[in-house]
Amino acid sequence: MKWTLYNILFAIAYAAMMPKFLVRMARRGGYANRFADRFGRYPADILARLRDGTSRVWVHAVSVGEVAVAGQLMAELRRQRPGVAFVLSVTSSTGWTQAQRQTGPGDVLIYAPLDYPGCVRRAVRAIAPAAYVITETELWPNVIRCVTAAGAPAFLVNARISDRSAPGYRRLRGWFGPVLNLLGHVYAQSDLDAARLTDAGCEAARITVTGTMKFDVAHRAPDKEAALRAYLTAAGVAPDAPILLGGSTWPGEDAFLLDVYRQALAVAPRLRLVIVPRHFEKADAVEAAIRAAGFPCLRKSRAPTPAPQPGDAVILADTTGELMGFYGLATVTFVGKSLFEKGGQNMIEPCLCGCATVVGPHTENFRPVMSDLLAQDAVRQGRDPAEAGAILLRLLAHPDEAAALGARAARAVERRRGATPCIAREILARLDNA
């Protein structure tokens, strides 16, 4: 009875959210081309590949961050078990773009089915997975129930329960507990996440705390660093000029960085500001904010071959796949979605690159990561915009202090690597035993 009620409520909720999805498809594009995937209906060429007799592990990831984790796990599983193939499912068009770089010739990329019985049954019949691996906490009850009913073991990796989600999972443990206990095993990021999973009804014996896999995901991108260095040089940025980088910024953070930049130029006149917004469709608004603040703007998507710019020009990097390269060039980085929005973006990447890294007060999505980094004095956190701005200004005014912070950050990330190989080894062992 409860699953009938769930399915009715799901259908109502999805219908109510459909206008939002249609707007997103129109704005971002791409997603519409494979929208039928959401109903478990695939193009003929995809169906042919799914029916070619290859046994595949189905890995699911929501968007960019989870896809990076999924890709790292897939690569490690391939290393430990050459020949293993995958179906990788994603939810967002941005995740799809990232996922295309993670799949191999024998893999199949799809959009995840809606968690509605007919859609799920069609998807599971088409995929016939050898196993189902979920990254973080994308728990869709019908998918898990259908996959395990078909005899495939299911695993939850890099599991976390956010501050916002924890009360809901606890209240609905009568719903989530039975689903969580269908999983073969759960690999949690931290003791807190394990406790929250237990509160949600998961048996403690099914949970292992491994630490976060995100320390394993980040890798420097020397080719991108070299290409971006050449770009900046062409734009008139000297190789030894300090760079303040805003990584994955959200609305409001661009204005904050522009104010810091204005103040910092008084003590570091050769400083240049680079802003990489989290959502490139908001680049027009970011450019308007830069110009309203009185700075020239070099927008990378519109100037692939730049001319030399004025000394205080701001570089707006609204192109995909280059943030890691910019992290490798930055002197000081502010990581976005941490000042006004809750959650935080990935601070591991600039730390790995040895960049002095500053975040705002909201880093809930990276709680275990931040605990590790703060304990090793490898990152700086401002409690509000004023404090975050003061920290940035101090680091920009004291290059030796910034360099020392960046060196500690790089060492801290290296010390925390290793969760992914352990999880891959355990999953393969459990599959062999099954």
Q: What is the 3-state secondary structure (H, E, C) of the chain?
A: CHHHHHHHHHHHHHHHHHHHHHHHHHHHCCHHHHHHHHHCCCCHHHHHHHCCCCCEEEEECCCHHHHHHHHHHHHHHHHHCCCCEEEEEECCHHHHHHHCCCCCCCCEEEECCCCCHHHHHHHHHHHCCCEEEEECCCCCHHHHHHHHHCCCCEEEEEECCCCCCHHHHHHCHHHHHHHHCCCCEEEECCHHHHHHHHHCCCCHHHEEECCCCHHHHCCCCHHHHHHHHHHHHHCCCCCCCCEEEEEEECCCHHHHHHHHHHHHCCCCCCCEEEEEECCHHHHHHHHHHHHHCCCCEEEHHHCCCCCCCCCCCEEECCCCCCHHHHHCCCCEEEECCCCCCCCCCCCHHHHHCCCEEEECCCCHHHHHHHHHHHHCCCCEECCCHHHHHHHHHHHHHCHHHHHHHHHHHHHHHHHCCCHHHHHHHHHHHHHHHC
Yes or no: say if 369 and 280 are a contact pair by the CB < 8 Å rule.
no
- Candidates 66, 76, 253, 349; catalytic one: 66
281 is catalytic: no
Distances 159 to 188, 260, 294, 423 between C-alpha atoms, Å: 4, 36, 45, 12
Yes or no: say if 413 and 215 are a contact pair by the CB < 8 Å rule.
yes
Distances 132 to 43, 55, 140 between C-alpha atoms, Å: 22, 12, 12
Q: 8 Cβ partners below 8 Å, 6+ apart?
A: none
Q: Which residues are catalytic?
A: 66
